[in-house]
Chains A and B, each alone.
Chain A
Protein backbone atom coordinates (compact mmCIF):
# COMPACT_ATOMS: atom_id res chain seq x y z
CA UNK A 1 0.00 0.00 0.00
CA UNK A 2 1.32 3.44 -0.92
CA UNK A 3 2.32 5.77 1.88
CA UNK A 4 -0.43 8.35 2.52
CA UNK A 5 0.08 11.79 1.01
CA UNK A 6 0.42 14.79 3.29
CA UNK A 7 0.78 17.65 0.88
CA UNK A 8 0.39 18.06 -2.88
CA UNK A 9 1.78 21.09 -4.64
CA UNK A 10 1.04 21.69 -8.33
CA UNK A 11 2.58 24.46 -10.49
CA UNK A 12 3.06 26.79 -7.53
CA UNK A 13 4.60 30.15 -8.31
CA UNK A 14 4.77 33.42 -6.38
CA UNK A 15 5.82 36.16 -8.80
CA UNK A 16 8.10 38.01 -8.72
CA UNK A 17 10.14 36.20 -6.01
CA UNK A 18 9.44 32.66 -7.16
CA UNK A 19 8.97 32.71 -10.91
CA UNK A 20 9.44 29.02 -11.67
CA UNK A 21 6.60 26.57 -11.11
CA UNK A 22 7.08 24.15 -8.22
CA UNK A 23 5.37 20.77 -8.08
CA UNK A 24 5.90 18.01 -5.55
CA UNK A 25 4.09 15.49 -3.41
CA UNK A 26 5.07 14.94 0.19
CA UNK A 27 4.24 11.64 1.83
CA UNK A 28 4.25 10.56 5.46
CA UNK A 29 7.72 10.15 6.90
CA UNK A 30 9.45 11.96 4.00
CA UNK A 31 12.06 14.65 4.41
CA UNK A 32 12.12 17.33 1.77
CA UNK A 33 14.86 19.92 1.67
CA UNK A 34 14.36 23.23 -0.14
CA UNK A 35 17.91 24.12 -1.04
CA UNK A 36 19.28 27.29 -2.55
CA UNK A 37 21.44 30.30 -1.96
CA UNK A 38 20.13 33.43 -0.25
CA UNK A 39 17.38 35.02 -2.35
CA UNK A 40 16.59 31.79 -4.18
CA UNK A 41 12.94 31.85 -3.04
CA UNK A 42 13.00 29.28 -0.22
CA UNK A 43 11.10 31.32 2.37
CA UNK A 44 8.66 32.55 -0.29
CA UNK A 45 7.86 28.95 -1.20
CA UNK A 46 7.34 27.86 2.42
CA UNK A 47 5.15 30.87 3.21
CA UNK A 48 3.09 30.24 0.09
CA UNK A 49 2.50 26.63 1.21
CA UNK A 50 0.78 27.98 4.32
CA UNK A 51 -1.21 30.55 2.36
CA UNK A 52 0.67 33.49 3.87
CA UNK A 53 1.46 34.79 0.38
CA UNK A 54 -0.77 35.13 -2.65
CA UNK A 55 0.28 32.51 -5.20
CA UNK A 56 -0.59 30.79 -8.45
CA UNK A 57 -1.06 27.04 -8.73
CA UNK A 58 -2.54 24.72 -6.13
CA UNK A 59 -1.55 23.57 -2.66
CA UNK A 60 -3.65 20.69 -1.37
CA UNK A 61 -3.33 19.70 2.28
CA UNK A 62 -4.32 16.12 3.00
CA UNK A 63 -3.92 16.65 6.74
CA UNK A 64 -5.48 19.30 8.99
CA UNK A 65 -3.39 22.47 8.79
CA UNK A 66 -3.40 22.66 12.60
CA UNK A 67 -1.29 19.48 12.69
CA UNK A 68 1.59 21.26 10.92
CA UNK A 69 4.16 23.30 12.81
CA UNK A 70 6.10 26.10 11.14
CA UNK A 71 9.33 27.52 12.51
CA UNK A 72 10.07 30.79 10.75
CA UNK A 73 13.49 32.17 9.93
CA UNK A 74 12.83 35.23 12.12
CA UNK A 75 11.19 34.01 15.32
CA UNK A 76 7.58 35.24 15.56
CA UNK A 77 7.19 35.04 19.30
CA UNK A 78 4.22 36.39 21.20
CA UNK A 79 5.09 39.72 22.84
CA UNK A 80 5.28 40.14 26.62
CA UNK A 81 4.92 36.41 27.33
CA UNK A 82 7.29 34.02 29.05
CA UNK A 83 8.70 30.83 27.58
CA UNK A 84 6.04 28.57 29.09
CA UNK A 85 3.19 30.79 27.90
CA UNK A 86 4.63 30.89 24.38
CA UNK A 87 4.40 27.12 24.11
CA UNK A 88 1.00 26.85 25.81
CA UNK A 89 -0.55 29.59 23.69
CA UNK A 90 0.94 28.30 20.44
CA UNK A 91 -0.48 24.86 21.11
CA UNK A 92 -3.84 26.45 22.07
CA UNK A 93 -3.91 28.23 18.71
CA UNK A 94 -3.54 24.80 17.10
CA UNK A 95 -6.40 23.44 19.21
CA UNK A 96 -4.33 21.55 21.81
CA UNK A 97 -4.55 22.36 25.48
CA UNK A 98 -1.28 21.29 27.08
CA UNK A 99 -1.23 21.03 30.85
CA UNK A 100 1.11 23.48 32.59
CA UNK A 101 2.43 20.75 34.85
CA UNK A 102 2.13 17.89 32.34
CA UNK A 103 4.96 15.66 31.17
CA UNK A 104 4.65 16.83 27.53
CA UNK A 105 5.51 20.44 28.32
CA UNK A 106 8.28 19.34 30.66
CA UNK A 107 9.75 17.05 27.98
CA UNK A 108 9.62 19.80 25.36
CA UNK A 109 11.36 22.35 27.59
CA UNK A 110 13.94 19.79 28.66
CA UNK A 111 14.60 18.66 25.08
CA UNK A 112 15.17 22.18 23.78
CA UNK A 113 17.24 23.20 26.79
CA UNK A 114 14.70 25.79 27.96
CA UNK A 115 13.66 24.28 31.29
CA UNK A 116 15.76 26.75 33.27
CA UNK A 117 14.16 29.68 31.41
CA UNK A 118 10.51 28.59 31.61
CA UNK A 119 9.39 31.76 33.43
CA UNK A 120 11.70 34.13 31.61
CA UNK A 121 10.18 36.77 29.32
CA UNK A 122 11.02 36.46 25.64
CA UNK A 123 12.87 39.75 25.38
CA UNK A 124 15.27 38.54 28.08
CA UNK A 125 16.32 35.48 26.07
CA UNK A 126 19.45 35.38 23.95
CA UNK A 127 19.10 35.09 20.16
CA UNK A 128 20.05 31.41 20.26
CA UNK A 129 17.45 30.73 22.93
CA UNK A 130 14.79 32.52 20.90
CA UNK A 131 15.59 30.32 17.91
CA UNK A 132 15.27 27.23 20.07
CA UNK A 133 11.97 28.52 21.46
CA UNK A 134 10.64 29.11 17.93
CA UNK A 135 11.56 25.53 17.02
CA UNK A 136 10.12 24.26 20.30
CA UNK A 137 6.76 25.98 19.59
CA UNK A 138 6.70 24.47 16.09
CA UNK A 139 7.62 21.01 17.42
CA UNK A 140 4.92 21.28 20.12
CA UNK A 141 2.16 21.59 17.51
CA UNK A 142 3.66 19.50 14.68
CA UNK A 143 1.90 16.19 15.00
CA UNK A 144 2.08 15.32 11.27
CA UNK A 145 4.35 17.82 9.55
CA UNK A 146 7.17 20.08 10.67
CA UNK A 147 8.32 22.93 8.44
CA UNK A 148 11.58 24.64 9.38
CA UNK A 149 12.77 27.69 7.54
CA UNK A 150 16.52 28.05 7.68
CA UNK A 151 16.95 27.70 11.44
CA UNK A 152 18.78 24.40 11.53
CA UNK A 153 22.17 25.72 10.46
CA UNK A 154 21.96 28.30 13.25
CA UNK A 155 21.54 25.68 15.97
CA UNK A 156 24.51 24.57 18.02
CA UNK A 157 26.12 21.31 16.95
CA UNK A 158 24.78 19.25 19.86
CA UNK A 159 21.15 20.36 19.46
CA UNK A 160 21.35 19.89 15.69
CA UNK A 161 22.65 16.35 16.04
CA UNK A 162 19.93 15.50 18.54
CA UNK A 163 17.34 17.07 16.24
CA UNK A 164 18.40 14.88 13.33
CA UNK A 165 18.48 11.75 15.49
CA UNK A 166 14.93 12.50 16.60
CA UNK A 167 13.84 13.21 13.01
CA UNK A 168 15.46 9.98 11.77
CA UNK A 169 13.49 7.99 14.33
CA UNK A 170 10.16 9.77 13.83
CA UNK A 171 10.37 9.82 10.04
CA UNK A 172 11.28 6.12 10.00
CA UNK A 173 8.13 5.40 12.04
CA UNK A 174 6.20 7.65 9.58
CA UNK A 175 4.95 9.74 12.47
CA UNK A 176 6.16 12.98 11.02
CA UNK A 177 7.18 14.48 7.69
CA UNK A 178 9.70 17.28 7.46
CA UNK A 179 10.18 20.18 5.04
CA UNK A 180 13.18 22.36 5.72
CA UNK A 181 14.83 25.19 3.87
CA UNK A 182 18.57 25.59 4.00
CA UNK A 183 21.49 27.08 2.14
CA UNK A 184 23.83 24.51 3.68
CA UNK A 185 24.66 21.68 1.29
CA UNK A 186 25.74 19.58 4.25
CA UNK A 187 22.23 19.91 5.71
CA UNK A 188 20.61 19.18 2.32
CA UNK A 189 22.40 15.82 2.20
CA UNK A 190 20.22 14.59 5.08
CA UNK A 191 16.96 14.83 3.10
CA UNK A 192 15.20 12.13 1.10
CA UNK A 193 14.56 14.63 -1.70
CA UNK A 194 16.09 18.00 -2.45
CA UNK A 195 14.19 20.74 -4.25
CA UNK A 196 16.82 23.00 -5.66
CA UNK A 197 16.00 26.66 -6.23
CA UNK A 198 18.17 29.25 -7.87
CA UNK A 199 17.16 32.89 -8.28
CA UNK A 200 13.47 32.13 -8.09
CA UNK A 201 13.55 29.18 -10.46
CA UNK A 202 13.47 25.42 -9.90
CA UNK A 203 16.72 23.82 -11.00
CA UNK A 204 15.94 20.26 -10.04
CA UNK A 205 14.20 17.98 -7.63
CA UNK A 206 15.78 14.66 -6.88
CA UNK A 207 17.55 12.61 -4.24
CA UNK A 208 20.87 14.05 -3.00
CA UNK A 209 22.73 11.15 -4.68
CA UNK A 210 21.21 11.89 -8.11
CA UNK A 211 21.79 15.63 -7.75
CA UNK A 212 25.48 15.02 -7.15
CA UNK A 213 25.62 13.09 -10.44
CA UNK A 214 24.15 15.99 -12.50
CA UNK A 215 27.02 17.78 -14.19
CA UNK A 216 25.00 20.94 -14.92
CA UNK A 217 24.06 21.35 -11.27
CA UNK A 218 27.60 21.24 -9.99
CA UNK A 219 28.01 24.97 -9.66
CA UNK A 220 25.03 25.25 -7.36
CA UNK A 221 24.99 21.96 -5.54
CA UNK A 222 28.03 19.79 -5.94
CA UNK A 223 30.69 22.39 -5.23
CA UNK A 224 29.18 23.47 -1.95
CA UNK A 225 28.74 19.81 -0.99
CA UNK A 226 32.35 19.09 -1.78
CA UNK A 227 33.35 22.26 -0.02
CA UNK A 228 31.52 21.27 3.12
CA UNK A 229 32.68 17.66 3.01
CA UNK A 230 36.16 18.60 1.89
CA UNK A 231 36.16 19.33 5.40
CA UNK A 232 36.11 21.91 7.91
CA UNK A 233 39.54 20.65 8.93
CA UNK A 234 42.68 20.17 6.87
CA UNK A 235 45.64 18.36 8.40
CA UNK A 236 49.15 18.74 6.97
CA UNK A 237 52.36 17.11 8.12
CA UNK A 238 55.30 19.45 8.55
CA UNK A 239 58.94 18.46 8.02
CA UNK A 240 59.67 18.45 11.73
CA UNK A 241 56.96 15.84 12.36
CA UNK A 242 54.41 18.34 13.54
CA UNK A 243 50.79 18.03 12.39
CA UNK A 244 49.37 21.39 11.38
CA UNK A 245 45.59 21.71 11.51
CA UNK A 246 43.64 24.36 9.63
CA UNK A 247 40.27 24.53 11.35
CA UNK A 248 37.34 26.37 9.74
CA UNK A 249 34.78 27.96 12.02
CA UNK A 250 32.19 25.19 11.54
CA UNK A 251 34.51 22.40 12.64
CA UNK A 252 33.44 20.05 15.38
CA UNK A 253 35.68 17.86 17.51
CA UNK A 254 34.56 14.90 15.41
CA UNK A 255 35.84 16.65 12.25
CA UNK A 256 39.18 17.34 13.93
CA UNK A 257 39.60 13.75 15.03
CA UNK A 258 38.56 12.38 11.63
CA UNK A 259 41.09 14.63 9.88
CA UNK A 260 43.82 13.37 12.17
CA UNK A 261 42.84 9.75 11.62
CA UNK A 262 42.82 10.25 7.82
CA UNK A 263 46.34 11.64 7.92
CA UNK A 264 47.59 8.89 10.25
CA UNK A 265 48.15 11.33 13.08
CA UNK A 266 45.86 9.47 15.43
CA UNK A 267 45.11 5.84 16.05
Chain B
Protein backbone atom coordinates (compact mmCIF):
# COMPACT_ATOMS: atom_id res chain seq x y z
CA UNK B 1 0.00 0.00 0.00
CA UNK B 2 2.81 2.41 0.89
CA UNK B 3 4.49 1.60 -2.44
CA UNK B 4 1.25 2.39 -4.30
CA UNK B 5 0.86 5.67 -2.40
CA UNK B 6 4.44 6.63 -3.16
CA UNK B 7 4.01 5.87 -6.86
CA UNK B 8 0.73 7.82 -6.91
CA UNK B 9 2.66 10.73 -5.40
CA UNK B 10 5.23 10.34 -8.19
CA UNK B 11 2.50 10.43 -10.86
CA UNK B 12 0.86 13.46 -9.22
CA UNK B 13 4.13 15.34 -9.14
CA UNK B 14 4.90 14.45 -12.75
CA UNK B 15 1.50 15.81 -13.77
CA UNK B 16 1.51 18.93 -11.63
CA UNK B 17 5.02 19.99 -12.62
CA UNK B 18 4.29 19.59 -16.31
CA UNK B 19 3.91 22.88 -18.23
CA UNK B 20 2.03 20.88 -20.86
CA UNK B 21 -0.65 19.95 -18.29
CA UNK B 22 -1.21 23.53 -17.16
CA UNK B 23 -1.42 24.74 -20.76
CA UNK B 24 -4.10 22.16 -21.53
CA UNK B 25 -5.98 22.96 -18.32
CA UNK B 26 -6.04 26.69 -19.11
CA UNK B 27 -7.27 26.01 -22.67
CA UNK B 28 -9.93 23.55 -21.40
CA UNK B 29 -11.09 26.01 -18.77
CA UNK B 30 -11.42 28.77 -21.36
CA UNK B 31 -13.45 26.50 -23.69
CA UNK B 32 -15.77 25.45 -20.85
CA UNK B 33 -16.27 29.04 -19.68
CA UNK B 34 -16.72 30.47 -23.22
CA UNK B 35 -19.28 27.84 -24.32
CA UNK B 36 -20.88 27.44 -20.90
CA UNK B 37 -20.16 23.70 -20.80
CA UNK B 38 -21.08 21.66 -17.73
CA UNK B 39 -18.60 20.89 -14.94
CA UNK B 40 -18.58 17.27 -16.13
CA UNK B 41 -17.11 18.36 -19.45
CA UNK B 42 -14.54 20.37 -17.53
CA UNK B 43 -13.69 17.34 -15.34
CA UNK B 44 -13.37 15.21 -18.48
CA UNK B 45 -11.05 17.72 -20.14
CA UNK B 46 -8.83 18.00 -17.06
CA UNK B 47 -8.64 14.19 -16.70
CA UNK B 48 -7.59 13.96 -20.33
CA UNK B 49 -4.97 16.65 -19.78
CA UNK B 50 -3.61 14.74 -16.78
CA UNK B 51 -3.42 11.48 -18.75
CA UNK B 52 -1.62 13.18 -21.63
CA UNK B 53 0.85 14.94 -19.32
CA UNK B 54 1.61 11.69 -17.50
CA UNK B 55 2.08 9.80 -20.76
CA UNK B 56 4.41 12.54 -22.00
CA UNK B 57 6.48 12.38 -18.79
CA UNK B 58 6.77 8.60 -19.02
CA UNK B 59 7.35 8.08 -22.72
CA UNK B 60 9.03 11.25 -23.94
CA UNK B 61 10.79 13.11 -21.10
CA UNK B 62 14.34 11.86 -20.42
CA UNK B 63 14.18 9.80 -23.60
CA UNK B 64 11.51 7.50 -22.18
CA UNK B 65 13.68 6.76 -19.17
CA UNK B 66 10.79 6.28 -16.79
CA UNK B 67 8.97 3.74 -18.92
CA UNK B 68 12.23 1.81 -19.25
CA UNK B 69 12.59 1.79 -15.47
CA UNK B 70 9.03 0.48 -15.17
CA UNK B 71 9.77 -2.30 -17.67
CA UNK B 72 12.98 -3.21 -15.86
CA UNK B 73 11.18 -3.53 -12.55
CA UNK B 74 8.21 -5.31 -14.20
CA UNK B 75 6.02 -2.82 -12.36
CA UNK B 76 3.63 -1.98 -15.23
CA UNK B 77 0.39 -2.83 -13.40
CA UNK B 78 1.56 -1.11 -10.23
CA UNK B 79 2.34 2.11 -12.08
CA UNK B 80 -0.91 1.85 -14.04
CA UNK B 81 -2.87 1.59 -10.79
CA UNK B 82 -0.89 4.47 -9.28
CA UNK B 83 -1.45 6.58 -12.41
CA UNK B 84 -5.20 5.91 -12.43
CA UNK B 85 -5.42 6.84 -8.73
CA UNK B 86 -3.48 10.07 -9.32
CA UNK B 87 -5.60 11.07 -12.35
CA UNK B 88 -8.85 10.31 -10.51
CA UNK B 89 -7.78 12.30 -7.44
CA UNK B 90 -6.71 15.23 -9.58
CA UNK B 91 -9.92 15.11 -11.66
CA UNK B 92 -12.05 15.15 -8.51
CA UNK B 93 -10.17 18.19 -7.27
CA UNK B 94 -10.48 20.04 -10.56
CA UNK B 95 -14.17 19.07 -10.81
CA UNK B 96 -14.79 20.53 -7.35
CA UNK B 97 -12.91 23.68 -8.30
CA UNK B 98 -14.83 23.84 -11.59
CA UNK B 99 -18.20 23.53 -9.80
CA UNK B 100 -17.31 26.54 -7.66
CA UNK B 101 -16.00 28.70 -10.49
CA UNK B 102 -18.09 27.74 -13.54
CA UNK B 103 -21.54 27.80 -11.86
Which residues of A pack against B, CB within 8 Å? 50-52, 65-66, 68, 70, 72, 74-81, 85, 88-90, 92-97, 141
Contact = CB atoms under 8 A, between A and B. Distances in A.
Interface in B33-59: 57
Given A52-B71, A65-B74, A93-B75, A80 B7 contact: no
Given A93-B75, A93-B78, A97-B2, A78 B69 contact: yes
B10 A92 contact: yes
A76 B7 contact: no
- Chain B interface residue count: which class? 20 to 34
Interface in B1-48: 2-3, 6-7, 10, 13-14, 17-18
A72 B69 CA distance: 10
B66 A85 contact: no
Contacts of B2: 97
Nearest to A72: B68
> What 7 A-B pairs come out closest when comparing CB atoms?
A76-B65, A79-B61, A93-B73, A97-B2, A92-B6, A80-B17, A93-B75
B66 A97 contact: no
Contacts of B69: 76, 78, 90, 93
B70 interface: yes
B72 A80 contact: no
Nearest to B1: A97
